[in-house]
Every structure is written in C-alpha cells, then in structure tokens.
C-alpha cells in the first residue's frame, strides 16, 4: 500500500512537472510573440514620428503636390499615350536605339541617322509638344495605387524611356545642325522628364530616374563634341546638372520599400508565399521579428546613403554581409530586402558621371576664356567649377587626361581599377574592367 501511494505521488509529481514545463514553454512563446509585436509597433511609431509613412494610405499622402496647382503628370501621361514607338527600316538607323548601332557615339550623324530622326520626330510631333509643356510645370505626381503593394503597377515606364530617347535624338539633331541654343533648351526638357520622378517613393522609379539622367548627360557629351557653346550656355548646363542630382534618389526609394515591408508582415502572400506558411509566420511571431530586422537594416542603408561616396559603398557592403550572414530564422528578411548594394553602385556611378559632365562643361568654359585646355582640374576652381569633384569609388579627384586633340574626364567605377579612361564599349571582352568617362574629341 505504501509502495502504491508512493508511486502515485511520483506520477502526480511528474505530471505536475511536465505541466509546469509546458506552461513555461507556452509563456515564453507568448512572451516571444508579444515582445516581437511590441518592438515592431515601437519601431513603426518611431518611423512615423520622424515624418515618414508606414502604410499605403500614409504613403499616398506623402507622395503629394500642393492642392490646386498644375500637375505635370497630366501632360506627361498624355505624351506617353500619344508616343509612337519607332519601327521598320528607318528605326534601325536611330542612333540611340536602332539595331544598327554607331561604332563612334560622338561622331557626326550620317544621312541615314538624320533621316530616321526627322521621321521619328514628325511621327511624335504631338508627344514632343506635350513634353515641352509638361517640362514647364513645377509639380508632378503620377497616379499610382500603392495598395497593390509589391505587385504595384507603375504605368508608362517603357514609354517614358522611349520619350527620353526621342528627346535625346532631337538634341543630337539640333547639335548636328549647329543650333546650340535649341540643343541646350532641349537638355532642360530631358532633365525635366527625369525630375518628374524625383518625389516618387518607389525604388524602381528612382532607378528609372537615374537611367533618364544618364541619357541626359550622354546628350551633353554629344553636344560638346558637335558644336561650340557660349559661356552662358555652358554655365546653364552645369547648373541644370547640379540641380538634377543634388539629392539622393535612393533615400526616396527606401521610403516606399519600408512601407512594403510593413505590409508584407500582415500578408506574406504578397511575396508569393502560400497561405498556410504565411499564416504560421504571422501566428508564431517570426514575421514580426523578420520585419523588425528588415526595418533596422533599411534604416542602416538610409544612414549609409548620407556618407561620402567611398564610405557609403563600404558601409553598404558591410550591411549586405550582415544580411547574407543571417540565420535561416530570418529567411523572410532575405526575401524582402532588395539588392541594395548593386542599386547603390548604379547610383554612385550616375552621380560620378554627372560630375564628370559638369567638369567637362567647366573645361569648355576655361577653353573659351583662355584659348587652351587646363593642365589640371584644379585650374578650373573656383571660377569654372567650385572645386574638383571627388570620385566616389576611391575618394580621389576625378581623373583628367589630355588626348590629341581633346580630353577625357572619368571615374574608375566600382571595380576600383584605373583603366586610363577606357570605355565600356571598347573592352576586349564583355565584363572586362573599364572606366566611366566623358570624352571630348576636339
């Protein structure tokens, strides 16, 4: 009897221990979930307190223009709708997009190029008129439905690029005709099209904006090789380029990405995840923990954007390494985080080429005044440029090399190697090291 009672007490005690352990596990799990949710709420509240949107409704209000003012997007949208994409044999001769690429992008247009451009400009006469009118309007806000989240449809991006190329080819024709004043005014229209995306808080929109800016400075390079501008025109182009890239496009792009991440936590299916695993991630608190880490990483990337070029790149590489080293527990974070390092390299490259173009304009101003090319870029400061710009990829001044009879201003690019101003299109094999130059051949 005593033995039976003793065994029973032991069994009851064992069950109590198991139950107690179970309660502890459940309690710890509940604390894990609650703590994760509370920390995420605090992080979101801090973002909102800093003046940034945290959901789609707030993002829609953030991307706004003053009430009652003209909206350039209305005219730009009509221009995109009216745009006629070139096709047929003549389209092959368009210098920026035809299948018949010119081997020397700075050489004069040939008769086929001229004929193709004139034909394309005539076909898009309405589009060009609308683009010109839109460029004169200060504010721009395209109609976007942010509630679509990660599958957000951004209309007219293809047409927008086509319109940028159309304007660039018009600029080339004007330079070919030695109409420098009209060519300079057309650069302003090109940059205005790029700037129409300036306040759009979407990463892909800012990447498109960078591509449009790149088309614009390529047009400036062509003008410098084909016609002579006066000091006022050169200084005006310098000012336009300075204003076109004085902010940091990636910071604006991160604002929308942050809202998308917060939304993904409530509905992981937006990432293409099946309903059951997505629901488990939410219920278990794993999604909240991943969101918290993702938001902190985006904050770190945003802080890195404020650093000087070389430091920015190195810091972004450190953050990317942190993302790569995350455990399987943070797989959702790895899915949600865009490839920021590559994006930042593109941003730095465009910024460097804008600076190279500004320097080239300063060199032309110097040549106009002195009758010769400067020996060093420091000869330009402070009259023709405020100071010699720094190459963001190594923290040294942009390279400048005299050629016969012109010159090259270049950035060494993300590979960190100085190739003497070698162009991407001139390398022996695709993928070989090269620089990012602006070249003037006279």
pLDDT tens, 217-261?
Answer: 999 999 999 999 999 999 999 999 988 877 777 888 889 888 888
Give the pLDDT mean for 34-48.
84
Give the integer Cα–Cα distance in Å for 215 and 97: 12
Give the pLDDT mean for 69-93.
92
Half-sphere exposure of 258 (CA within 13 A, CB side): 28
pLDDT tens, 165-214?
Answer: 999 999 999 999 999 999 999 999 999 999 999 999 988 899 999 999 99
pLDDT of 132 reads: 98
Q: Please report, for the chain, the start and end positions of each structural domain, with discontinuous segments joined by +.
A: 55-247
Q: How confident is the model at residue 150 (pLDDT cuts 50, 70, 90)?
A: low
pLDDT of 290 reads: 84
pLDDT tens, 290-320?
Answer: 888 889 999 999 898 888 878 888 899 999 9
pLDDT tens, 388-428?
Answer: 899 999 999 999 999 988 999 999 998 889 999 999 888 87
pLDDT of 236 reads: 95
SS3 track for the chain: CHHHHHHHHHHHHHHHHHHHHHHHHHHHHHHHHHHHHHHHHHHHHHHHHCCCCCCHHHHHHHCCCCCCCCCHHHHHHHHHHHCCCCCHHHHCCCCCCCCCCCCCCCCCCCHHHHHHHHHHHHHCHHHHHHHHHHHCCCCCCCCCCHHHHHHCCCCCHHHHHHHHHHHHHHHHHHHHCCCHHHHHHHHHHHHHHHHCCCCCCCHHHHHHHHHHHHHHHHHHHHHHHHCCCCHHHHHHHHHHHHHHCCCCHHHHHHHHHHHHHHHHHHCHHHHCCCHHHHHHHHHCCHHHHHHHHHHHHHHHHHHHHCCCHHHHHHHHHHHHHHHHCCCHHHHHHHHHCCCHHHHHHHHHHHHHHHHHHHHHHHHHHHHHHHCCCCCCHHHHCCCCCCCCCECCCCCCECEEEECCCCEEEEECCCCCCCCCCCCHHHCCCCCCCCCEEEEECC
Kindly state the percentage of the chain with pLDDT values over 90.
Answer: 54
Give the pLDDT mean for 272-290.
63
pLDDT of 11 reads: 57
Kindly state the percentage of the chain with pLDDT values over 70.
Answer: 85
Give the integer Cα–Cα distance in Å for 409 and 376: 11
Cα dihedral sign, 13-19-25-31: negative
Give the integer Cα–Cα distance in Å for 291 and 282: 11
Q: How confident is the model at residue 12 (pLDDT cuts 50, 70, 90)?
A: low
pLDDT tops 70 at residue 52 = yes
Preceding amide of 19 cis, omega within 30: no
What predicted TM-score, i.e. pTM, was given to this entire model?
Answer: 0.88
Angle (CA) 139 141 143, round 5°: 155
């Amino acid at each position: 009897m005593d033995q039976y009672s003793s065994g029973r007490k032991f069994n009851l005690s064992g069950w109590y221990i198991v139950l107690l352990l179970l309660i502890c596990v459940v309690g710890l799990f509940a604390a894990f979930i609650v703590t994760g949710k509370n920390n995420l709420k605090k992080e979101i509240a801090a973002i909102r307190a800093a003046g940034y949107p945290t959901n789609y409704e707030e993002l829609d209000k953030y991307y706004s223009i003053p009430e009652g003012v003209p909206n350039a997007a209305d005219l730009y949208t009509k221009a995109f709708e009216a745009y006629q994409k070139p096709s047929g044999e003549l389209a092959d001769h368009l210098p920026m997009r035809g299948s018949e690429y010119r081997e020397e992008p700075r050489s004069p247009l040939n008769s086929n190029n001229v004929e193709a451009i004139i034909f394309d400009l005539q076909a898009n006469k309405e589009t060009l008129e609308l683009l010109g009118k839109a460029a004169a309007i200060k504010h721009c806000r395209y109609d976007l439905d942010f509630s679509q989240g990660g599958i957000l449809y951004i209309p007219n991006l293809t047409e927008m690029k086509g319109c940028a190329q159309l304007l660039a080819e018009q600029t080339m024709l004007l330079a070919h005709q030695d109409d420098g004043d009209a060519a300079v005014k057309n650069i302003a229209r090109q940059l205005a099209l790029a700037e129409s995306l300036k306040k759009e808080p979407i990463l892909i929109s800012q990447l498109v904006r960078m591509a449009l800016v790149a088309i614009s400075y390529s047009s400036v390079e062509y003008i410098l090789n084909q016609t002579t501008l006066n000091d006022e025109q050169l200084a005006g182009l310098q000012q336009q380029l300075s204003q076109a890239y004085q902010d940091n496009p990636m910071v604006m792009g991160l604002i929308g990405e942050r809202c998308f991440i917060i939304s993904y936590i409530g509905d992981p299916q937006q990432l293409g995840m099946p309903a059951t695993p997505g629901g488990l991630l939410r219920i278990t608190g794993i999604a909240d923990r991943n969101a918290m880490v993702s938001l902190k990483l985006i904050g770190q990337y945003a802080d890195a954007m404020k650093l000087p070029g070389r430091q920015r790149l190195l810091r972004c590489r450190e953050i990317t390494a942190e993302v790569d080293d995350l455990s399987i527990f943070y797989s959702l974070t790895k899915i949600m985080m865009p490839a920021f390092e590559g994006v930042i390299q593109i941003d730095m490259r465009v910024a460097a080429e804008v600076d190279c173009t500004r320097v080239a304009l300063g060199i032309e101003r110097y040549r106009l005044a002195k009758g010769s090319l400067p020996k060093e870029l420091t000869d330009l400061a402070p009259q023709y440029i405020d100071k010699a710009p720094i190459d963001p990829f190594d923290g040294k001044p942009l390279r400048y090399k005299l050629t016969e009879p012109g010159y090259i201003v270049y950035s060494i690019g993300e590979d960190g190697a100085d190739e003497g101003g070698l162009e991407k299109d001139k390398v022996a094999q695709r993928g070989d090291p090269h620089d990012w130059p602006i070249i003037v051949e006279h």
